Amino acid sequence: MKKYLFYGSYNSEGYKGLLSEGGSARIGAAKQALQSVGGSLESFYYSNGEQDFYIIVNLPDNVSSTAITLAGNASGTFSIRAVALLTPEEMDEAVKMKVDFRPPGH
């Protein structure tokens, strides 16, 4: 399983739903959506910052991550983005890779 950070913001319709259902109901909805594509919820947090929520999830692949963000964004109640997360061991692998790269203008 790959780990992803989802983050997003509610619009006015989403805030109305949140006020009506409460925050815990969204956890159940997130779990249901993630399980439907073979994933699971690790943690769910609300924020008073730039974004309204941050969710850490486990999903099989980028396709399932994209399916989740498409469904969320198509709902019309919030916008959501996904970021693939790497383990320290995966970062170790990445820094050992040789990349043939030329910066612009060089």
- Reported CATH class of domain 2-96: alpha beta
User: Of all residues in the chain, what percent carry a pLDDT higher than 90?
Assistant: 98
Residues with Cβ within 8 Å of residue 66, at least 6 apart in sequence: 82
81: left (phi over 0), alpha (psi -120 to 50) or beta: beta
| Closest listed residue to residue 42, CA positions, set 34, 52, 50 | 34
Q: Which tens digits make up the pLDDT trace of 31-71?
A: 999 999 999 999 999 999 999 999 999 999 999 999 999 99
Q: So what's the pLDDT on residue 71?
A: 97
pLDDT at 106: 86
Residue 63: which of 85, 84, 42 has the closest Cα?
Answer: 84
Identify the three-state secondary structure at position 87: coil
* pLDDT on residue 96: 97
Query: What's the mean pLDDT in 72-79?
Result: 96
Burial 55-80 (b: 16+ CB within 10 A, else e): bebebeeeebbebbbeebeeeebbbb
